[in-house]
Chains A and B, each alone.
Chain A
Amino acid sequence: MTGHDLRAEGLRLAYDAKVVVDGLTLAIPPGQITVIVGANACGKSTLLRGLARLLKPTAGGVHLDGESISRLPTREVATRVGILPQSPVAPEGLTVAELVARGRYPHQRWFQQWSAADEAAVAAALESTGTAELATRPVDELSGGQRQRAWIAMALAQGTPILLLDEPTTFLDLAHQVEVLDLLGELNATEGRTVVLVLHDLNQACRYAHHLVAMAEGSIVAEGRPSEVVSEELVTKVFGLECRVVPDPVAGTPLVIPVGARHRRPLVDFGSDPT
């Protein structure tokens, strides 16, 4: 599943007159996990939407395997790039199996609606996300973590070599966050899918990313391996936050510890401590 090439060149993305991303050039490394981080409103979700042709660029372009993504038929793109937007909503009463089956839409035609390949892809997606036992349950009755896994299963059933996810861990508790990220890491490791994530948590980003992209004000500030890129200066630049960076005691990746105004070491010893 490796080898598909997605890149943005001189990309400018805007909502009406408001330019959110400007002059951005980025190549998504095939077969790896790329994580995009940055402060709120830095344009990271917009970039993801642009990469998935959900937003038309006003200048520059996105290229998929060397062709302009906006010139390729959208259904063709849908067999190569899948995107899961932030907190999608399923219609009431839709079961997990039905939701996942809808991921097969780009592979179906009017005259051939449900093939053995569809069946196999849905079964595999349910299996690998651990949602097989939830298959008959309505999506709207699931817990947040289960629901997110069901949506990921839908995106997997779509069978695209490139998978983009916008903050897949939002609204999940810590255990479910790790569960979802582990699942994506597993999919990347076993099936070689190219995964692009937007994440809020810098430490999780450092842990799961092969390639980290740090954005500020619509441009890329730094990109590369987390261990090479993440530094106290970068975090200050990207988030405007003073911090310490130490090695993650479990994974060995950079661990960012914010300082915060209330815990800044006093510069002067007040001398009132009797010990």
Chain B
Amino acid sequence: MVPPWTRLERMERKGVVASRRWRAAGLVLAAAALVAVALASVAYGSKPIAVNRVLGSFFTFDGSSDHLIVRSLRVPRTLAGLGVGVALGMAGAVMQGVTRNPLADPGILGVNAGASLAVVLAIYGLDVTSPSGYVWFAFLGAAGASVVVYGLGSLGRDGATPVKLALAGAAMSALLGSVTTAILLLDVATLDQFRFWVVGSLAGRDATILRGVAPFLGAGALLALGSARSLNTLSLGDDVARSLGQRVGLARVCAAVAVVVLTGAAVAAAGPIGFIGLTVPHVARAITGPDYRWVLPYSAVLAPILLLGSDIAGRVVARPGELQVGIVTAFVGAPFFVALVRRRKLAEL
């Protein structure tokens, strides 16, 4: 007779990657790909710099323009892309998990709209002009909108159901968006400043911004990883989760805080970049199956690959100018979104 252990090991998981060992190997592979993309992000641009010159700027800095470009422009930009990518990927995965909504994304829960409105208010009312000044407002706006959306979505007899959360998010997005538009229409100077930020760009992100949001990114990532097990039970429905001894309200709040912190920080650093949080968790899930203990790390590694890849593409396509990364991710993400919606059976998460 086959011992039960090996039998269970064999029957364990489905998905493209069939066993735990393979999933770990896949994660290492993805991480290697991320390193390669990050190097490419430093090397390619409107002025291509050979990889040995790139490495030289770290180890034998000689003050040449190539080395200066690498160290003062491309490295901070790549690091920003890395941080923002990790945050968006994990935030999207947690959001989809906690709302059990395959279309959940910072846009849907109103986080982007809240952050944008806060930034516009800061530019318009408080004359804040530098991106490092936006950070805190974007963060506050993201948190505020999420709290309101969660509060609205939780009203009524069965708490924050996926549908009610999505509806509350859509309603809040529309409301906040129209306020934002009204302010922009009133004031041309605000519009000009806002326009660059709102599209989402990694360009011109200096090290101070990243340093400012890094603690939030770190805390959010840890909280998200810590929520993986409760997301697994929540995905079976509230009643089953409760029956399994999960404190559903507490788990939701933890996950929501992770989402707010991650998206708030990401939006503050790079503006609202869409579709990363939507697409990457689905790709991760297709590889690992629906276990959030794997979906989250995979999302964290795959998202910056997509973000940095899009950023490189934006730099290469429109040389010597460049396309902002938010536009490129929209080009990649929109068809994916359409395909997702057109699927006959919209995935139950």
Contacts and interface: CB of A to CB of B under 8 A. Distances in A.
A251 interface: no
Contacts of B10: 136
A144 interface: no
A93 B289 contact: yes
A120 B237 CA distance: 25
A75 B245 contact: yes
Interface residues of A, number: 47
Give the residue among B10, B242, B345 with the most A Cβ atoms within 10 A.
B242
Given A88-B237, A105-B229, A105-B233, A158 B244 contact: yes
Contact of B348 (A82, A83, A89, A120): A89
Nearest to B288: A93
Contact of A97 (B8, B233, B237): B8
Given A83-B239, A85-B239, A136 B290 contact: no
- What interface size band does chain B fall in? 20 to 34
Give the residue among A77, A92, A137 with the most B Cβ atoms within 10 A.
A92
A119 interface: yes
B245 A77 contact: yes
B32 interface: no
B11 A136 contact: yes
A99 B13 CA distance: 10
A102 B233 contact: yes
A171 interface: no
Contacts of A94: 235, 289-290
Interface residues of chain A: helix, strand, loop or mixed (majority): mixed
Interface string B321-349: 00000000000000000000000010111
B347 A92 contact: yes
Contacts of A119: 4-5, 8
A125 to B, nearest CB: 11
B71 to A, nearest CB: 41
Contacts of B14: 93, 95, 136-138
B315 interface: no
Interface string A48-92: 010011100000000000000000011111110111110011111
B11 A88 contact: no
Contacts of A75: 245
A106 interface: yes
A217 interface: no
Nearest to B233: A105
Given A49-B239, A89-B348, A98-B290, 20 more contacts: A78-B245, A82-B243, A84-B243, A85-B237, A85-B240, A89-B236, A91-B100, A91-B290, A92-B349, A93-B14, A94-B290, A97-B11, A98-B289, A102-B232, A105-B232, A105-B246, A132-B7, A136-B12, A140-B348, A158-B244
Interface of A: 15-16, 49, 52-54, 73-79, 81-85, 88-95, 97-99, 102-103, 105-106, 108, 110, 119-120, 122-123, 132, 135-138, 140, 155, 158
5 contacts: A16-B157, A84-B243, A91-B347, A98-B289, A158-B243
